[in-house]
Amino acid sequence: MESLCRQIKKYGFFRCLSLFWAHVFCPRIRSLLYRIFYKFSYLGANVSIGKNVSLHAPNMSIGDNVTIAENCVFDGIGGTVTIGSHTSIANNTTIMAIKEITIGRKCFIAPRCFFVDFNHIFSDRNLYIKDQYDYGEEQRTAKSIIIEDDCWLGANVIVLKGVTIGRGSVVGAGSLVTKSIPPFSVAAGVPAKIKYTR
């Protein structure tokens, strides 16, 4: 209560009210509406969902106290998407799963990260790549992405199929992760290489 009074004194009543409205009240109401209108495998308590979030994943499980900021897209086209409790996913992050994408507990996913667990088929050069589209084959060759607990992925990180990022790892901004990273690594670059171990 004391800290609330301090904040109101510092920023003014209407600014505090608008911050509360935008960042606490509306995301919680949105989460309530998602709970009513979407089918989740599990949707935890105190989940905060930002504006314009698109959740198309029938097998989706979101833990307690998860924050999903505005403009995120979770496209679980036949795959499972799991977000562990206390994880924060910043704005404009996209998850495309036809097999499995799991993000562990207490992770920080910075803005504009991109996770995709499959490739399109492009083996026949006499056909347009788009005409080789074969969902069954893509699903057969898809490989799970696992981000273990307590990881921090910087802004604009891309994670490709089959990657496991070990517990407590940090991935630098703008990195492209094509291979698994052992626990407590700090990795960065395109492709991401281990810079040092925490």
Ligand X SMILES: CC(C)(COP(=O)(O)OP(=O)(O)OC[C@H]1O[C@@H](n2cnc3c(N)ncnc32)[C@H](O)[C@@H]1OP(=O)(O)O)[C@@H](O)C(=O)NCCC(=O)NCCS
Residues labelled catalytic: 120
**One residue of 62, 158, 177, 188 binding ligand X per CB under 6 A:** 188
Footprint of ligand X on 101-130 (CB under 6 A)? 108, 110
Footprint of ligand X on 13-42 (CB under 6 A)? none
Minimum distance of ligand X from residue 190's CB (angstroms): 8
Asked if 195 touches ligand X (CB under 6 A), the answer is: yes
Report how far residue 38's alpha carbon sits from residue 33's, in angstroms, rounded to the nearest whole number.
8
Report how far residue 103's alpha carbon sits from residue 152's, in angstroms, rounded to the nearest whole number.
11
Number of residues that bind ligand X (CB under 6 A): 13
Report how far residue 58's alpha carbon sits from residue 38's, in angstroms, rounded to the nearest whole number.
8
Minimum distance of ligand X from residue 144's CB (angstroms): 24
Report how far residue 119's alpha carbon sits from residue 142's, in angstroms, rounded to the nearest whole number.
7
Mask of contacts with ligand X, 160-179, x by CB under 6 A?
Answer: ----------x-xxxx----
H-type helices in the chain, by residue range? 2-11, 13-20, 26-37, 135-141
**One residue of 44, 58, 78, 154 binding ligand X per CB under 6 A:** 154
**One residue of 8, 155, 176, 194 binding ligand X per CB under 6 A:** 155
- Closer of 108 and 184 to ligand X (Cβ): 108
Give the phi and the psi of residue 114 in degrees, each rounded to 5.
Answer: -140, 125
Sign of CA dihedral 23, 25, 28, 31: negative
Q: Which of 34, 95, 101, 27 is nearest to 65 (CA)?
A: 27
Query: Which range touches ligand X (CB under 6 A), out of 8-16, 41-49, 96-104, 184-192?
Result: 184-192
- Closer of 154 and 162 to ligand X (Cβ): 154
- Name 138's Cβ contacts closer than 8 Å, sequence gap at least 6: 98, 118, 119, 120, 121
Residues near ligand X (CB under 6 A): 108, 110, 154-155, 170, 172-175, 186, 188-189, 195
